[in-house]
Amino acid sequence: MTPPTYRKSTHAYEHPSAAEDVMRQVDIYMPNSMNVSADGIDLLVFIHGGAWRTGDKSEHVDLPSRLSSQIPESQAKNLVIAVPNYRLSHHPDHPERISTVHPMHELDIARSLLWLTDPKNVGSYLGTASDSYQETRIRSIYLAGHSCGATILSNLVFLLPNIPVEARMMIMIWPPPPPGPPSETSWTPEEKSGMLEVMRKVKGMAFLDGIFDLNDLIDEYPSYEFFVEKAFGTDSKVGGSWDQASVPQQSAESLPEEVWQLLKAADGPRMVVAHALEDELLSERQSLNWFKWLESELGESERLVYDNESLIGSHDGSLQHEGLGVLIAKLVKQS
């Protein structure tokens, strides 16, 4: 099997006023030997980590080749890989950067997904001069998040659908941005319904070395409080902003029924919770508790998998090991 080679293109996924904002751009990797199936293409979206304050899509340029070598050639040629940036929280080394807090990270990733799956954009990022791809649709979607990217993924699935539509988000943006369209800090009805359509196409999710319960994280690692406060504020009391951004602290009844229906369906997405045992920044506690919560709410299923063997190396080093490609390739092949 000869793995396909890829060509990369970069696109802005937000409104025109943000076109030059690298934090609202997405790198898209398309096989040079693209073989579009009659019923559409498959899309893998990788959400990078970095404690909500660092990290960039440019750090994951090797992901396509690492993944494609593990997938059957016919399937790899129909798989487009996307790595979006999102606006980050305050970091002292970047005083010039607009800094945001939760839930802006999730909103940015949600908007990247809406852009990536909009039929009118697919032909654009497939990058052909002809019209042959203009009607191409997304057939299947796979989502993977590493570290705080896994947190963003969990919140994207379970919490974001409950954000009231047309409500002004309680978001700190500093320095204040210039005036823009309402979508800058509002979650519109169209976006909310659009994300449910995206979720209907999600066939697999991978939560890699993630953080899922903020108060539990600080209980285990008190020194991490400084970066959690930058992203979620200082309200760590029971029921406060930290708990509100931690899916396991929510009651199942408070989570959106539409999402439960999709996840519990017979053809619902496969979910893999993975942890690198050599991770020097996080113990297995967060991943294990997240898996137990999913299992308690969704029930035991072959579609819910815990994996502490595939990821090899340190917290960030595991992203450079072939085990990551094996894990995600298995998710794509088996979903």
CATH code, domain carrying 101: 3.40.50.1820
DSSP state of 214: H
Domain that holds residue 37: 6-334
How far from 157 is each of 1, 115, 123, 124, 255, CA to CA, in Å?
Answer: 35, 17, 27, 27, 10
Residue 182 lies in a domain: yes
Number of residues that this document lists for the chain: 335
The reported pLDDT for the residue numbered 182 is 40
Residue 19 lies in a domain: yes
Q: What is the pLDDT along the chain (335 residues), one digit of tens a residue?
A: 677 889 999 999 987 666 678 899 999 999 988 877 777 899 999 999 999 999 999 999 999 988 888 888 888 889 999 999 999 998 877 766 677 888 889 999 999 999 999 988 888 888 653 455 556 789 999 999 999 999 999 999 998 777 654 433 444 444 444 444 444 556 788 888 899 999 999 999 999 999 999 999 999 999 999 999 999 999 888 888 899 899 999 877 777 788 888 998 888 999 999 999 999 999 999 999 999 999 999 988 899 999 999 999 999 999 999 999 999 999 998 87
Domain count for the chain: 1
The reported pLDDT for the residue numbered 181 is 43
* pTM over cut 0.85: yes
DSSP 92-146: TT-TTS-B--TTHHHHHHHHHHHHHH-HHHHHHHHT-SSSTTTT--EEEEEEEEE
Residue 1 lies in a domain: no
- b or e along 130-142 (b: 16 or more beta carbons within 10 Å of the residue's beta carbon)? eeebeebebbbbb
The reported pLDDT for the residue numbered 308 is 98
The reported pLDDT for the residue numbered 43 is 97
Beta bridge partners of 274: 208, 307
Do 56 and 48 touch, CB atoms closer than 8 A? yes
The reported pLDDT for the residue numbered 147 is 99
Q: Residues with Cβ < 8 Å from 69, sequence gap 6 or more?
A: 3, 322, 325
Residue 49 lies in a domain: yes
The reported pLDDT for the residue numbered 132 is 55
Do 13 and 111 touch, CB atoms closer than 8 A? yes
Instruction: Count CB-CB contacts under 10 A for residue 91.
Output: 16
Residue 61 lies in a domain: yes
- Strand pairing report for 41-47 and 138-146: parallel
DSSP state of 309: S
Closest CA to 50 of 158, 163, 150: 150
